[in-house]
Chain A
């Protein structure tokens, strides 16, 4: 029971209270780009959840090795990035076998792999093992962190997409602010809101 409650506490914390995209800025450029492609939001979020969960889990297991316990950030980076790269190659190899039997064209497969690479190698995925290490989370919490990263990304992308839809129709915005600048302002307001949820003091 304790494990389950700890799992859900970590999950909710990453998803809502400390939304990694809005309070940490992790994966914000990927969130903006995938928000512009509404059909790919779900797939992209699932991929991020997969890579972050698997990487976080493996990295947490690696931390059981005594030599890794008091390692520096440089060593941690080498290990985590190495784990992420291996997970990516294994996943792509499996996908290549599976997609080889499907009706997908070469172009579609290439596009899918490109998207897989973007979802694997981004700051939100690589940040999860570092957060797990610094917060001294257990294995179950590491899994919750990984899954929560995917859900947090999905929530952030959905919010950004909704904002994009409203901003696109807006003809009253100044000409120089239309498009990207207006979206940045919108995300800034969302960041402020999520920081407020965290209970941070914002001004003075």
Chain B
């Protein structure tokens, strides 16, 4: 991108990059002849305006200078109109009011303000000539294509196999063509220097000022919500997905081969010490599922009871299994254990009730077990 000429024509192209001076391109550039006339007038206007500005206008205040560019434009356009009118009156008619409008071409104002005020005379004229050339390239391509597609002609000669599409003679055709030309230029830039091509999109004049959405979209960076997709697109995608989602399919019934998970039940017994069990018994509470656990110290060799063969004792009721481990080391404790075993034996005769204690010591209603139901029915039958 170091070549100055190349840079002025392509990189700083007024139409495709700068989006300036669009009116003549989209409105009147409908034939090659018109494009050439416009190109010539534009180049001359640019150079003359640059010359006058460099010599005279740059010493004036900006607001005066801006007003005088139209007068400068008129100085070039009026003689050009006279020449065109004499040489080709039909072209003059075809160009209509668009030719005089070249006097207020914003390209002249932009170039003069950028270059003529600050740069040297030679540099500013070179820049203007290149800008005019870049503008002309676009004008000629657009004019040629529109003449072929829109009118089915080349330089006034009919092309037999082309059906003219009138829409291309309207501004719409001009915009479509410059869109494709701008895209082609981007592809070319991307091949030479991808970084520059990205910068071109980021700093495009058509990006809304103060908004960095284009930049974010280009870089695939994160939006405010942290995603790489724009919120609007996200919403559209969701709606699209919703529409495309297939109807709900019912779950297939569980095959018998699959193992059926049984929910785990809370243990229906409570671990308590010997004292607690004694207390429960003394309180005349109904029989409960109880396991007695001794918290006493382990037996020693000196203990005389340790080798006695009676322990342990296991007793079963119809509903609950009570395992009493005789781990007592003294005679008193052994007596206590015996007493407890007797109490348990006494409860054996009583009918088991449908209640147990939960962990908090509260009463809990439970369903009768199968064994219980069977027993009850047996009893009923016996009676």
Contacts and interface: CB of A to CB of B under 8 A. Distances in A.
A180 B190 contact: no
Contact of A123 (B63, B101, B170): B101
Contacts of A77: 74, 77-78, 81, 100, 103
B71 A195 contact: no
A191 B170 CA distance: 8
Most buried by A among B69, B82, B165, B175: B175
B104 A36 contact: no
Contact of B23 (A25, A96, A170): A25
Interface residues of A, number: 77
Interface in A139-192: 161, 164-166, 168-172, 174-185, 187-189, 191-192
A8 interface: no
Interface in B162-179: 163-167, 170-176, 178-179
A178 B190 contact: no
A11 to B, nearest CB: 20
A169 B104 contact: no
A145 B232 CA distance: 39
Contacts of B201: 175, 178-179
A110 B164 CA distance: 49
Contact of A195 (B163, B164, B167, B232): B167
B19 to A, nearest CB: 5
Given A85-B67, A178-B201, A200-B166, A29 B22 contact: yes
Contacts of A121: 66-67, 69-70, 104, 106, 109
Nearest to A86: B67
A82 B62 CA distance: 19
B63 A25 contact: no
B218 A178 contact: yes
Contacts of A204: 163-166
Contacts of B71: 81, 85
A92 B65 CA distance: 12
Contacts of A184: 175-176, 178-179, 182
A188 B23 contact: no
Most chain B beta-carbon neighbours within 10 Å: one of A81, A96, A192, A201:
A81
B179 A182 contact: yes
B252 interface: no
A178 B218 CA distance: 8
A171 B214 CA distance: 9
Contact of B233 (A80, A164, A169, A179): A169
Contact of A32 (B19, B170, B186): B19
Interface of B: 16-17, 19-23, 26-27, 62-64, 66-71, 73-74, 77-78, 81-82, 85, 92, 97, 99-101, 103-104, 106, 109, 163-167, 170-176, 178-180, 182-184, 186-187, 190, 197, 200-201, 204-209, 211, 213-214, 217-218, 220, 229-233
Given A77-B81, A175-B197, 10 more contacts: A25-B22, A89-B64, A127-B97, A175-B186, A178-B201, A180-B179, A180-B182, A184-B176, A185-B175, A188-B173
List the 6 closest pairs (A to B, CB-CB), nearest first. Answer: A184-B179, A117-B66, A188-B175, A25-B27, A169-B230, A77-B100
25 contacts: A22-B171, A25-B171, A36-B207, A72-B85, A77-B100, A77-B103, A84-B70, A85-B67, A121-B106, A121-B109, A126-B104, A130-B97, A166-B232, A168-B214, A168-B217, A169-B230, A171-B217, A175-B218, A180-B19, A180-B204, A181-B186, A184-B178, A191-B170, A204-B164, A204-B165
